[in-house]
Amino acid sequence: PEAGAGPDPRSSTELAAAARQFFERCHGAPADAVWTAPGRVNLIGEHTDYNGGLVLPVALPHRTAVAAAPRDDGLVVLHSAARSTAPVTLPVADLRPGTPDGWAAYPAGVLAELRASGADLPGVSLAVVSDVPAGAGLSSSAALEVATAGALADLAGIDADPRMLAETGRLAEHRYAGVPCGVMDQLAVACCRADHALLLDTRDGSQDHIPFDAGAAGCSLLVVDTRVRHRLADGAYARRRAGCEEAARLLGAADLREAEQRTGAPESVLAALPADLRPLVRHVMSENTRVRRVARLLRAGGVRGVGPLLTSGHASLRDDFAVSCPEVDVVVAAAVAAGALGARMTGGGFGGSVVVLAETAVRCGSATGRTNPPL
């Protein structure tokens, strides 16, 4: 792992300075532009984004920084401090889906998408440093894409509108990394503000920044990476998604959100569906309701009241949507048994991370854990 990964991430300024230093060491000249973007965790609103529903992500203090400079030899040269291997180097003219592959597909895909939209970027050098754990469901991929898009937009003299950066990142992830992700990750990473959750309506694209400062409410938001990733995840995700689409079709709606908005009464919607689709729809509709409730609580300053909604959201994902796994259930149950206000799996499921809302125990000291000696 890179230095700095873990509970004490570097500030945006420190990370940008580290990216500039790393760039200079790799490329032998200073960078012209540096951008940083945070990882994100979804507080609540799971498996709603591809159903036109609501999500409520928050930015993490952990960030990715990308330093960049133009080149006049028609090459793209990519270094990451997380990869000790040789840099990835290739002619910009050779960029296409599948080339390059691996981690370099994310930043190279962003370059290709920006060029396709007319950006004047004949060649670039890049250097990446990051404190966002990769592959933990915290959107290290979106942080890498959005930070790359910001740095390259700067080089090309393009207005770096957050929604444009997010859309460029999403297209790069779809086309170049081959991951058919939803719209949430990149929008969260590009648009979230500090001490706010982002209520994102994936149906109409509207955004609402809601104050959320767990620390000020005497609480901590913990992210527990189980480091478990079950192999059935991809097929199971595709089946859940197809089930939701089939239910929407049977209900004569473009998506489940439209079905919900049209009928208003989930019970009557459920009765009209085959038994195997009912739990899927029940999760999606009840999850949208939970997101609205959490948003309402946060607006009213009721951070602690959010806990039970996280835990009931987990039960819905476990029992109705059936995307949890024993390891994740154990972490959620242990957190709640130990006195947490609430806990739930976050991300697609079958492993990944758990988000826990807990009162900040005096015994554990400050958020950095340094106030008291270890027990």
Query: Can residue 139 be called a binding residue for ligand ADP (CB under 6 A)?
Result: yes
Identify the DSSP state of 96. Answer: B
CA distance 199 to 203: 12
Query: Can residue 141 be called a binding residue for Mg ion (CB under 5 A)?
Result: yes
Query: Can residue 147 be called a binding residue for ligand ADP (CB under 6 A)?
Result: no
CB 37 within 8 A of CB 146: yes
Q: Residues with Cβ < 8 Å from 64, sequence gap 6 or more?
A: 15, 36, 37, 38, 39, 128, 129, 130, 131, 132, 140, 143, 144, 147
Helix (H, G, I), strand (E, B) or coil at 253: coil
Binding partner selected for residue 144 from ligand ADP, Mg ion, none, CB under the kind-specific 5 to 8 Å limit:
ligand ADP
Which region among 19-27, 46-54, 80-88, 322-330 touches ligand ADP (by CB under 6 A)?
A: 80-88
Which region among 11-19, 68-76, 137-145, 365-373 touches ligand ADP (by CB under 6 A)?
A: 137-145
Q: Annotated catalytic, 225?
A: no
Query: Can residue 202 be called a binding residue for ligand ADP (CB under 6 A)?
Result: no
CA distance 356 to 32: 40
Binding partner selected for residue 302 from ligand ADP, Mg ion, none, CB under the kind-specific 5 to 8 Å limit:
none
CA distance 91 to 76: 6
Query: Can residue 82 be called a binding residue for ligand ADP (CB under 6 A)?
Result: yes
Binding partner selected for residue 80 from Mg ion, ligand ADP, none, CB under the kind-specific 5 to 8 Å limit:
ligand ADP
For Mg ion, the closer CB: 80 or 141: 141
Q: Which of 94, 185, 201, 234 is catalytic?
A: 185
In angstroms, what CA-CA distances link 345 with 97, 108, 114, 156, 342? 32, 31, 34, 40, 11
Query: Can residue 190 be called a binding residue for ligand ADP (CB under 6 A)?
Result: no
Query: Phi and psi for 249 in degrees, rounded to 5?
Result: -60, -45
Active site residues: 185
Q: What residue ranges bind ligand ADP (CB under 6 A)?
A: 64, 80, 82-83, 103, 106, 128, 130, 134-141, 144
